[in-house]
Amino acid sequence: MPELEQVLDAIRATHADAKEKGLGQGKGGQGMLPCPCCAGGKISYSVASVNGHIWGQCSTPKCVRWME
């Protein structure tokens, strides 16, 4: 299981990717990016349009996943 700082790195990377794609409160959507916590995994995420919160999960078992 990743350390807290690695999880926070994944969350920050996901927020940056969502912002770059124009996703956030008022404009939900989905995206994918390489996981900064493991070698080879990909983070899939979804942004809620109602509040901009992100749900994300790495494709690697026992790596990061979260819901805001």
- pTM score: 0.90
Q: What is the pLDDT of residue 23?
A: 97
Rounded-to-integer distance, Cα 41 and Cα 24, Å: 24
Which among 38, 66, 40, 63 has a CA at the least distance from the CA of 54? Answer: 66
Q: What is the pLDDT of residue 2?
A: 74
Tens-digit pLDDT profile for residues 26-68: 999 999 999 999 989 999 999 999 999 999 999 999 999 999 9
Rounded-to-integer distance, Cα 39 and Cα 20, Å: 23
pLDDT exceeds 90 at position 1 = no
Tens-digit pLDDT profile for residues 2-35: 789 989 999 999 999 999 999 999 999 999 999 9
Please tell me whether residue 39 adopts helix, strand or coil conformation: coil
